[in-house]
Amino acid sequence: MKKYGAEFFGTFWLVLGGCGSAVLAAAFPNVGIGLHGVSLAFGLTVLTMAFAIGHISGCHLNPAVSIGLWAGGRFPAKDLVPYIVAQVLGGIAAGGILYLIASGKAGFDVSAGFASNGYGEHSPGGYSLVAALVTEIVMTAFFLIVILGATDKRAPQGFAPIAIGLCLTLIHLISIPVTNTSVNPARSTAVALYVGDWAVGQLWLFWVAPIVGAIVGAGIYRFIGSEENATAPAAAQAGARS
């Protein structure tokens, strides 16, 4: 149960830190952190939790990541459902805490979005369903490529949390205008349930697209990262020739 608990609290931190920055701090008068700050906040939640619980649960914090790691041969199928349940529940719990905090300010209106993901008229930049679908699939695919590559036994050891956290930051810098950035069904569910209405109606895309993208990314890495396709580092090759 410890690893499921780690996923619960890790996803709680991701939603509270990432979505909390968007709801509470993004447009705060005069000193708002804006798109760049929110992007960094999401990356920092993953980076900090990767160091805190990576050795306990692997620090997935994301149903799409768990499914992608399974598709990439790095995660057992028997743990998929418990991990996903823990992640979704952790996200919903964080959404509840964020709602209690945000609603303490006069004029708070959850229907304004509450950091929910959306497309069409609910996309921050007015992007279409197709644009949102493509964005979420591609961004999640590359997220999985980075995760699988950074945690490969042949990769430099100890730097994976930094690479993964910065990757998530970059993903947000690219895609916040399109969908408000999901790449994580638990993150999307965590706030959509409190908004209801359109956010729940569009939630399907933010489950389907990240899962598809994760499987695609895992397939790509299994091809390019397989042992038989790998080449030795340049220093090792030079040593072999000398």
67-90 pLDDT tens trace: 999 999 999 999 999 999 999 999
When mean pLDDT is compared across 37-46, 100-109, 182-191, 224-233, the lowest value belongs to 224-233
pLDDT band at 31 (very low <50, low <70, confident <90, very high): low
- 241 falls within a domain: no
- 229 falls within a domain: no
Q: Based on the structure, what is the number of domains in the chain? A: 1
User: Which domain covers residue 171, as residue numbers?
Assistant: 1-98+112-223
pLDDT at position 237: 44
pLDDT tens per residue across span 51-65: 999 999 999 999 999
- 232 falls within a domain: no
- 179 falls within a domain: yes
- 228 falls within a domain: no
Radius of gyration of the chain (CA): 18
What does the alpha-carbon distance between residue 182 and residue 179 come to, in Å, rounded to a whole number? 7
Scanning the structure block, which residue is given the tokens 């743990």?
79
- 237 falls within a domain: no
- 105 falls within a domain: no
pLDDT tens per residue across span 178-225: 999 999 999 999 999 999 999 999 999 999 999 999 999 999 999 998
What does the alpha-carbon distance between residue 239 and residue 211 come to, in Å, rounded to a whole number? 42
Query: Does 239 have pLDDT greater than 70?
Result: no
* Tokens standing for residue 41: 């906040």
- 153 falls within a domain: yes
Of residues 5, 35, 55, the one with CA closest to residue 158: 55
CA distances from 34 to 11, 17, 69, 215 (A): 22, 14, 32, 32
CATH of the domain at 166: 1.20.1080.10
